[in-house]
Structure 1
Amino acid sequence: MNIASVRRPIIPPTPPRAPDNLSFFGRLAVIRQNMIATWGQRAYEEEIIQGRFFLHKSFILNQPDAIRHVLLSNYENYTRTPAGIRMLRPVLGEGLLLAEGHAWTHQRRTLAPAFTPRATANLVPHMTAVLDETIAKLDVRTNEPIDLREIMQRMTLEIAGRTMFSFGMDRHGPTLRNFIMEYAERLGRAYFLDMVLPVSWPTPMDRARARFRTRWTEFVAMLIAERRAAGKKAGAPPRDLFDLMDEARDPETGKGFSDEQLVDEVATMILAGHETTATALFWALYLLALDPDTQEEVASETCGEHLDSMADIDRQKFTRAVVDETMRLYPPAFLVARAARGKDVVAGAEVNKGDIIMIAPWLLHRHEKLWDQPNAFIPKRFMSKEPPDRFAYLPFGAGPRVCIGAPFAQAESVLALARLIGAFRVELVDANPVIPYGVVTTQPDHSPLFRITRR
C-alpha cells in the first residue's frame, strides 16, 4: 500500500528487536516481560517463519492467504493453546472468547442480537452521558499534569458499567480495577510450566488462578444480582446489554444462558469492552500528542458537531482513520496463538497435530511487505481507495471468531476521541519515550503525564 504524505510522519518508539539467533531459553526469559521484544528483524520481513516448540513445530504467519486459511477456511482445525487457555480462563471462564465447538456456536448465535448496529446505536446515549461527565471533570484540571491513561480506564469502565447494567461504577469500579491489576501483574503472565504442560495438568500458578477465579466470579455475580434487583418494567424495551443478554435465546434451540454462563459472558464483555478500548484511546491520545498537526485535523473535523448518535459518529471519517491507525500500530491483542488439532498444509508447509500457529497482529501490522512506512503514524492510509487486505489488518481478529463487540468498540473509540480532542488540546509533559510491551494486551511501559488546554 503506497502512501503519499505532505509532511514527514512521526515514528513512535518501540522496543529493540531481538537478535534473530536468540536462544530458546533466552526467548522464554523475555516472554514473561515483553512478548513483543522476542521477535527479530526476520519476523518483520518474511511471510512464514518455522521453528520448534519442544516436541512440536511452530509457525509465525505473515501471509494474508495463510492467515485466511487458519482463521476462516479451516478454523475448526485450530484451537487455543494450553498457555492461552490458562491465561484467559480464570477471568473469562467458558464465555464466548474461550468456548469451542457447539458451546461456542450456541453462545455466538444467542449473543448476536445484542451486538447488532441497531443495538449499539441504542447504547450511544450511555456513552455520551459518561463523556459529558468526563469532559466536565477535565475542565477543572486544565494546565496541570494529568494521567490520561488512568482517566481513560475509569471512563471506559464507567461506559462498560452503564451500557451493561444502567448503573455507574462509582462503588464497584475500584474493586474491579483491583481485580484487573492483580491478575495482570502476576497471574496473567505465561510461566514455563504454563506453556509445556497440558491444561489437564495443573501448575502451581493454576492453583493461584483458581483462587482468584472464585473471588472474581463472586464479584461479577454480585453485580448481576444488583442489576436484577433494579428490575425492569414489564413490556419495556431493553435498556442495556444485560437486558439483551438475559433475555437472549438461541434462535435454533430456544435456550438462553444459565446464571453460571451469564457470569462468564458478562465478565467477558466488561473486561474485553473496557480494558482494550481504554488502551486504544490512551495510545491514540499519545500519538496525537506526538503529532500536533494530525491532532488539529481531528479537532477540525469535530468542530461544531454535537456527536450524540451513530449517524454523527459515522461522519467522523478522519477520526475513525486515526483510531484504525492506532490499532494498527498498537493492536490490543498483539498475538493470536493456535494449536493444530490435526494435519494441515499452510503456505506450503506441513502442519501436524499439536503444532503451534502464531498470528501476531503486532508483526503483521508492521510487516515490511504489507505496509508502506510500516512503523510510521499515517492515519490517511485508512482513507485510501485501496483498503488493506482483510487478513493483513486484524485488530479484532477475523473469520467466524471475529470479535462480536467490534462495532461497539469502534463506535465508542471514535466518539470518545472526537469529543475529547474537540474539547481539549493535548500535549505531553513527560519527555521519556513510552515503550509498548505485550503481556495480555499491548500496554505502555509507564503512564506518561499529559497537559490539556481548552480549545
Structure 2
Amino acid sequence: MNIASVRRPIIPPAPPRAPDNLSFFGRLAVIKQNMIATWGQRAYEEEIIQGRFLLHKSFILNQPDAIRHVLLSNYENYTRTPAGIRMLRPVLGEGLLLAEGHAWTHQRRTLAPAFTPRATANLVPHMTAVLDETIAKLDARTNEPIDLREIMQRMTLEIAGRTMFSFGMDRHGPTLRNFVMEYAERLGRAYFLDMVLPVSWPTPMDRARARFRTRWTEFVAMLIAERRAAGKNEGAPPRDLFDLMNEARDPETGKGFSDEQLVDEVATMILAGHETTATALFWALYLLALDPDTQEEVASETSGEHLDSMADIDRQKFTRAVVDETMRLYPPAFLVARAARGKDVVAGAKVSKGDIIMIAPWLLHRHEKLWDQPNAFIPKRFMSKEAPDRFAYLPFGAGPRVCVGAPFAQAESVLALARLIGAFRVELADTIPVIPHGVVTTQPDHSPMFRITRR
C-alpha cells in the first residue's frame, strides 16, 4: 500500500529487534519481560518462518492467505496453546475467548445480539456521560503534569461498569484495578513450565493462579448480585449489557447462561472491554502528542460536533483512521498462538499435530512486504481506497472467532478520542521514549506524564 504524504511522518519508539540467531534460552529470558523484543529482522521481512519449540515445529505466519487458512478455512484444526490457556483461564474462565467446540458455538450465538451496532448505539449515552465527567475533572488539571494512562484506565473502567451494570465503579473500581495489576505483573506472564507442560499438569504458578481465580470470581459474582438487586423496570427495554446478557438465549437451543457461565462472560467483557480500550486510547494520545499536526486534524474534524450518537461517531472518519492506525502500530493482542489438533498444510509447509502456529499482529502490522513505511504513523493510509488485506490487519482477530465486542470497542475509542482532543491540546511533559512491552497486551514500559490545555 503506497502512501503519499506532504510531510515526513513520525516514527514512534519501538523495542530493539533481537538477533536472528538468538538462542532458545536467550529467547525464553526475553519472553518473560517483553515478547515483542524476541523477534529479529527476518520476522519483519519473510512470509513464513519455521523453527522448533522442544518436540514440535513452530511457524510464524506473515502471509495473509496462510493466516486466512488457519483462522477461517480450517480454524477447527487449531486450538489455544497450553501457555495461552494458563494465561487466560484464571481471569476469563470458560468464557467466550477460551471456550471451544459446542460450548463456544452456544456462547457466540447467545452473545452476538448484545454486541450488534444497534445494541451498541443504545449504550452510547452511558459512554457520553462518563466522558462529560472525565472532561470536567481534566478541566481542573490543565497546565499540570498528569498521567493520562491512569486516567484512561479509570475512564474506560467507568464506561465498562455503566454499560454493563448501569452503576458507577467508584466503590469497586480500585479493587478491580488491583486485580488487573496483580495478574499482569506476575501471574499473567509465561514461565518455562507454563510452555512445556500439558494443561492437565499444574505448575507452581498455576496454584497461585487458582487462588487468584477464587478471589476474582467471588468479586465478579458480587457485582452481578448487586446489579440483580437493583432490578429492572417491568416491561422496560434492556438498559445495559447485563440485561442483554442475562436475557440472551441461544436462537437454536433456547438456552441462556447459567450463573457460573454468566460470571465468566461478565469477567471477559469487563476485562476485554476496559483494559484493551484504555491501552489503545493511551497509545493514540501518545502518538498525537508526538504529532501535533495530526492532532490538530482530529480537533478540526470534531469542531462544532456534539458527539452523542452513533451517527455522530460514524462521521468522524479521520479520528477513526487515527484509531485504526494506532491499533496497527500497537495491536492490543500482539500475538495469537495456536496448536494444531491434526495434520495440515499451511503455505506449502507440512504441519503436524502439536505444532505451534504463531500469528503476531505486531509483526504482521509492521511487515515490510505488506505496508508502505510500516513503522511510521500515517492515519490517512486507512482513508485510502486501497484497503489493507483483511488478513493483514488483525486488531480484533479474524474468522469465526473475531472479537464479538469490536463494534463496541471501536465506537468507544473513536468517541473518546474525538471528545478528548476536541476539548484539549495534549503534549508530553517528559522526553523519555515510551517503549511497548508485550506482556498480556501491548503495554507501555512506563507511564509518561502529559500536559493538557483547553482549546
Q: TM class by shorter-chain length? A: over 0.9
Alpha-carbon deviation of 1:213?
0.1
Distance 1:235 1:98 in 2: 34
SS at match of 1:369: coil
Distance 2:89 2:5 in 1: 44
Question: Could you tell me the TM-score, scaled by structure 2's length?
Answer: 1.00
Alpha-carbon deviation of 1:430?
1.2
Distance 1:140 1:209 in 2: 40
Alpha-carbon deviation of 1:229?
0.1
Task: Tell me the percent identity.
Answer: 96
1:200-219 correspondence runs (5 A):
200-219=200-219
SS at match of 1:453: strand
Distance 2:276 2:169 in 1: 18
Distance 1:127 1:7 in 2: 35
SS at match of 1:87: helix
Deviations 1:258-309 (A, max 9, x none): 0000000000000000000000000000000000000000000000000000
Deviations 1:333-357 (A, max 9, x none): 0000000000000000000000000
SS at match of 2:235: coil
Distance 2:277 2:116 in 1: 18
Deviations 1:393-429 (A, max 9, x none): 0000000000000000000000000000000000000
Other-structure match for 2:84: 84
Moved over 6 A (4+): none
Alpha-carbon deviation of 1:177?
0.1
Distance 1:258 1:234 in 2: 22
Distance 2:134 2:355 in 1: 47
Alpha-carbon deviation of 1:434?
0.2
Alpha-carbon deviation of 1:391?
0.1
Unaligned runs of 5+ in 2: none
Distance 1:323 1:302 in 2: 14
Distance 2:47 2:356 in 1: 16
Deviations 1:147-205 (A, max 9, x none): 00000000000000000000000000000000000000000000000000000000000
Alpha-carbon deviation of 1:387?
0.4
SS at match of 1:32: helix
Distance 1:256 1:150 in 2: 36
1:31-430 correspondence runs (5 A):
31-430=31-430
Alpha-carbon deviation of 1:385?
0.3
Deviations 1:17-58 (A, max 9, x none): 000000000000000000000000000000000000000000
SS at match of 1:237: coil
SS at match of 1:257: coil
Question: Could you tell me the TM-score, scaled by structure 1's length?
Answer: 1.00
Distance 2:118 2:151 in 1: 28
Alpha-carbon deviation of 1:328?
0.1
Distance 2:430 2:448 in 1: 5
Distance 2:115 2:12 in 1: 34
Distance 1:68 1:245 in 2: 30
Distance 2:128 2:68 in 1: 37
SS at match of 1:189: coil
Distance 1:376 1:233 in 2: 51
Distance 1:37 1:125 in 2: 40
SS at match of 1:350: strand
Distance 1:294 1:321 in 2: 11
Deviations 1:232-281 (A, max 9, x none): 01111000000000000000000000000000000000000000000000
Distance 2:31 2:417 in 1: 32
Deviations 1:104-137 (A, max 9, x none): 0000000011001110000000000000000000
Unaligned runs of 5+ in 1: none
Deviations 1:52-110 (A, max 9, x none): 00000000000000000000000000000000000000000000000000000000000
Distance 1:28 1:274 in 2: 30
